[in-house]
Chain A
């Protein structure tokens, strides 16, 4: 276990370094041409380009350039090319909003996903199963940006003749006003969660239907346990193991910037929103910072998932 963790942590650091190097290449080498000219824009003077080249150290070897940027990022001194704000501080400022959005949405999607999966598995083949299956399919097929806009149009007063049940976007910190925090986040939570509810419901349904045929479920039945007990203690417990993997990785992905569209649509100034703003100013350092921040979540959570998996499923050993 300890040697497993040490090796994984070492591996994680390597992956993050590689991710950051690739991100660097994406901005400076992959497009080709002169990066200084690209950053300076179309109307730049030659002197302008030279000063940018000097300032960003573009005359150095690519590894030196990359390592300089990494050092700045790790020291917390990396600043935006566009407006000179500190990248690490901006990301830190966005974290409470992003975490509020993602944790709330995760609770909703896990709860409803399990509910939907269990109901449709128990009623497999019946009308309610079919209705749920169709709704789940619709859920995974909706573009998030559009869903958010439609919610705003229908429920947030965007439509002059429509309903105005919810505030039209924005974020209120939990420490400032818990009720307003909840009220502002309710629609974004569901917007983000709907995709996952459909997906988790479908996965759980097929897992349960597979598990029902396993020997240990038959044994439980033969022992005369009630069907409710068999479902909760035996079938569901085994069927949820793959969901743990899925959940760990999906949760990491939304925390690490996957909620970007929901944040943009609802004007929630989290980490994803920060990245989206940097797209329009074509600003590398914030995108670099956010990408690394996101990759760190994915890498850490995939290790946690492996550990949790071994704990939940005794057949798996960590070596």
Chain B
């Protein structure tokens, strides 16, 4: 069967001469491929800065509790709709009360009710730095806690999906035959679902009452549900390209040599084959994290991901949609955070690919 699209390119180790030509004359003797890749990556400042931005974003979101305790003094789910703040001696309602008043010349002034307070930019001494949402919750606090949830989901789901995809790809390509057939059909089947619809179907059904099988009981609002859903959906998108690569390596001499020395299947899979696909795994992992974060946002926006009142960047954008005219910050800010995070991951992933194997064509079908 013709299967275009499944790239089965040979993943060659560079010969010394090729590498030397690319390094522009600098010494490569005695350096492992990883050291050379590290050196190439260190010279790519754009990629390094992107990695820095991503790590900084993770750090800032991880420190969300400090923001609550030292700056905003408001928890991420603390609804404060009837509350007031004091600013320059004035009392301001967090959600506008509305009403009418007459000015001296007899004109009527109407103020609308139910409009959340806008960004205070620190004038209030901490609370509502970025304004409030429709329930009077602090947008800044939710932005950080939401980021924590979104990043946690994106990274954890990517780790899980990568581990499963590696195992399945190794099993399928090493054993071949019926094992390969079953695993490949499993990939094909998941792949036949539109990503977002499979995510929605799983997310919706699990968010009604959670997941209950034997000893495993996951409540409906748990973050484990979006993590599991996203991890499951992406398995074939890593598993397929990796299977192709392992398949190409499977009949190479070094595997044969290892077999001749009496190595068993596990040893060959994990000490011979896995190190040879490690660089592709790294690149794919970076790109999958970016995609998983975007998928979390999409699912949560539609109501099939993180469940309210838990914040996430996706649920915040959904809240922002309903308050776009009166409270645009609510939608603008999480979008900026997501875009910065995902761009930094994509740029770093590109740099990583260039550094690890300048001629490799590892690419994620999306």
Q: Are B331 and A146 in contact (CB under 8 A)?
A: yes
**How far does the Cβ of A275 sit from chain B's closest Cβ, in whole Å?**
7
**How far does the Cβ of B221 sit from chain A's closest Cβ, in whole Å?**
14
Task: State whether A143 and B192 are in contact (beta carbons under 8 Å apart), knowing that A31-B212, A265-B321, A294-B197 are contacts in the complex.
Answer: no
Q: Are A149 and B321 in contact (CB under 8 A)?
A: yes
- Among candidates B4, B202, B298, residue contacting A145 with C-beta atoms closer than 8 Å: B298
Whether, in the assembled complex, A113 has its beta carbon less than 8 Å from a beta carbon of chain B, the answer is no
Whether, in the assembled complex, A44 has its beta carbon less than 8 Å from a beta carbon of chain B, the answer is no
Task: State whether A291 and B324 are in contact (beta carbons under 8 Å apart), knowing that A144-B298, A298-B192 are contacts in the complex.
Answer: no
Please indicate the chain A residues that have their CB under 8 angstroms from the CB of B196 in the complex.
257-258, 260-261
Whether, in the assembled complex, A60 has its beta carbon less than 8 Å from a beta carbon of chain B, the answer is no
Closest to B344 in A: A141
Whether, in the assembled complex, B193 has its beta carbon less than 8 Å from a beta carbon of chain A, the answer is yes
Please indicate the chain B residues that have their CB under 8 angstroms from the CB of A319 in the complex.
1-2
Closest to A308 in B: B4
- Among candidates A38, A150, A294, residue contacting B332 with C-beta atoms closer than 8 Å: A150
Q: Are A287 and B208 in contact (CB under 8 A)?
A: no
**How far does the Cβ of B138 sit from chain A's closest Cβ, in whole Å?**
20
Q: Are A15 and B188 in contact (CB under 8 A)?
A: yes
**How far does the Cβ of A79 sit from chain B's closest Cβ, in whole Å?**
18
Within 8 A of B (CB), among A249-278: 249, 253, 256-258, 260-261, 264-265, 275-276, 278
Within 8 A of A (CB), among B176-233: 188-189, 191-198, 200-202, 204-206, 208-213
| Interface residue count on the B side (C-beta < 8 Å) | 59
Closest to B342 in A: A141
Interface size class of A (residues with CB under 8 A): 35 or more
Task: State whether A26 and B328 are in contact (beta carbons under 8 Å apart), knowing that A137-B346, A249-B365, A260-B196 are contacts in the complex.
Answer: no
Within 8 A of B (CB), among A1-43: 4, 15-16, 18-19, 22-23, 26-27, 30-33, 37-38
Q: Are B195 and A142 in contact (CB under 8 A)?
A: no
Against A, the Cβ 8 Å flags (1 = close, 0 = not) of B286-326 are: 00001000100110011110000000011001101100110
Main secondary structure of the interface of A (DSSP, over half): helix
Q: A145 vs B201: C-alpha distance in the bound complex, in angstroms?
A: 19
Q: Are B343 and A138 in contact (CB under 8 A)?
A: yes
Interface stretch, picked from B121-129, B274-282, B333-341, is B333-341
**How far does the Cβ of B230 sit from chain A's closest Cβ, in whole Å?**
14
**How far does the Cβ of A84 sit from chain B's closest Cβ, in whole Å?**
19
Interface stretch, picked from A117-125, A151-159, A217-225, is A151-159
Q: A318 vs B324: C-alpha distance in the bound complex, in angstroms?
A: 52
Q: Are B193 and A32 in contact (CB under 8 A)?
A: no
Task: State whether A143 and B211 are in contact (beta carbons under 8 Å apart), knowing that A31-B206, A261-B298 are contacts in the complex.
Answer: no
Whether, in the assembled complex, B366 has its beta carbon less than 8 Å from a beta carbon of chain A, the answer is yes
**How far does the Cβ of B76 sit from chain A's closest Cβ, in whole Å?**
20
- Among candidates A141, A282, A295, residue contacting B204 with C-beta atoms closer than 8 Å: A282
Whether, in the assembled complex, B25 has its beta carbon less than 8 Å from a beta carbon of chain A, the answer is no
Task: State whether A27 and B201 are in contact (beta carbons under 8 Å apart), knowing that A260-B196, A261-B301, A291-B193 are contacts in the complex.
Answer: yes
Q: Are A33 and B209 in contact (CB under 8 A)?
A: yes
Q: Are B366 and A159 in contact (CB under 8 A)?
A: no
A-B contact pairs, 15 of them (CB 8 A): A19-B193, A31-B206, A140-B346, A141-B343, A143-B313, A146-B334, A146-B335, A149-B317, A149-B320, A150-B335, A160-B325, A246-B365, A295-B192, A309-B2, A316-B2
A-B contacts besides A18-B189, A261-B298, A287-B201, 8 pairs, CB < 8 Å: A31-B208, A137-B347, A138-B339, A141-B343, A258-B195, A261-B196, A295-B192, A319-B2
Using CB atoms and an 8 Å cutoff, list the residues of chain B in contact with chain A: 1-5, 188-189, 191-198, 200-202, 204-206, 208-213, 290, 294, 297-298, 301-304, 313-314, 317-318, 320-321, 324-325, 328, 331-332, 334-335, 338-339, 342-343, 346-347, 350, 361, 363, 365-366
What 10 A-B pairs have minimum CB-CB distances, sorted nearest first?
A: A146-B335, A32-B212, A141-B342, A294-B194, A141-B343, A32-B213, A145-B301, A309-B4, A143-B297, A27-B205
